[in-house]
């Protein structure tokens, strides 16, 4: 199954938002990260983002940064990320979320071909802007992959229009200015940002950064096409006493958040 947009459109046709879950590959191990991602899908996550661990995660908060460091220290490399993608992609559309430097060093054409071969849906590229993404856009189009770029509350109308036009699958709206991490309250700027994107694009809009509870998921689902959750899932794994408990905890959180996006409060 490929195409993250198809999952978001299917959810929208069902009268609800989609739930997108994130976890880094290799955290706490490659094998366990596969089990965790599968548990998320089984519990109601509509699409998956697999994080590519990177040594300089400038947009990530302490929770995800610590998880990425554990993955790197455990020897996780790009081939392992692709292995996780391949193990999950037959269950739900599976994107890789990655900073651009590892892709560039691996080789854009090579990475894109390998991702497509693994069944991946595309990339979320938090530190890559469309005007600097010519190689990636061309390669993604040749391999029929989604290109998910980010917009922020500070984005001008011109940048929103340009970024949305470059996206395929969905537009990723960051609901706050700052690094990733679960928060006590969702952003008051998010609804306006989603509305601004919708004025310029027919693509679904997913909102990420900060959601960790069923109530927050329901709140974001009331105005966005997808609710994107990362740090809360990572924290579940970090707090679990062992891998089996982590799988149970991640599944329970996914089930709770899925109920939220469906309006089951």
Tally of CA atoms within 13 A in the half-sphere of 196 that contains its CB: 22
Catalytic residues: 49, 60
Contact 28, 75 (CB under 8 A): no
The answer for residues whose C-beta is within 8 angstroms of residue 26's C-beta and 6 or more apart is: 33, 53, 70, 71, 72, 74, 75, 76, 80, 81, 84
Q: H-helix or E-strand containing 138? A: helix 134-142
> Which one, of 95, 99, 79, 120, lies nearest residue 45 by Cα?
95
Residue-wise DSSP of 160-188: HHHHHHH-BS-EEEESSSS-----SS--T
DSSP annotation of 236 reads H
Q: H-helix or E-strand containing 84? A: helix 78-88
> Which one, of 179, 22, 189, 184, lies nearest residue 98 by Cα?
22
């Amino acid at each position: 199954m490929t195409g993250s947009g198809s999952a978001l459109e299917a959810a929208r046709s069902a009268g609800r938002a989609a739930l997108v879950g994130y976890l880094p590959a290799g955290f706490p191990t490659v094998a366990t990260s596969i089990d965790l991602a599968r548990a998320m899908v089984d519990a109601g996550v509509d699409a998956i983002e697999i994080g590519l661990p990177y040594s300089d995660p400038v947009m990530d908060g302490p929770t995800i940064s610590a998880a990425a460091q554990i993955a790197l220290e455990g020897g996780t490399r790009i081939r392992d990320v692709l292995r996780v993608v391949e193990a999950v992609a037959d269950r739900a559309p599976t994107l890789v979320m990655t900073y651009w430097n590892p892709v560039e060093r691996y080789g854009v054409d090579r990475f894109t071909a390998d991702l497509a071969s693994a069944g991946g849906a595309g990339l979320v590229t938090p530190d890559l802007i469309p005007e600097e993404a010519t190689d990636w856009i061309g390669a993604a189009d040749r391999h029929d992959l989604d290109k998910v770029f980010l917009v922020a509350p500070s984005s001008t109308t011109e940048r929103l229009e340009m970024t949305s036009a470059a996206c395929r699958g969905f537009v990723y709206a960051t609901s706050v200015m700052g690094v990733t991490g679960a928060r006590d309250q969702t952003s008051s700027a998010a609804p306006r940002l989603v509305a601004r994107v919708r004025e310029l694009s027919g693509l679904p809009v997913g909102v990420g950064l900060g959601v960790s509870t069923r109530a927050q998921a329901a709140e974001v689902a009331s105005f966005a096409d997808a609710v994107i959750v990362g740090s809360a899932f990572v924290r579940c794994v970090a707090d679990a006493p062992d891998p089996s408990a982590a799988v149970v905890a991640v599944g329970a959180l996914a089930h709770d958040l899925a109920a939220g996006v469906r309006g089951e409060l």
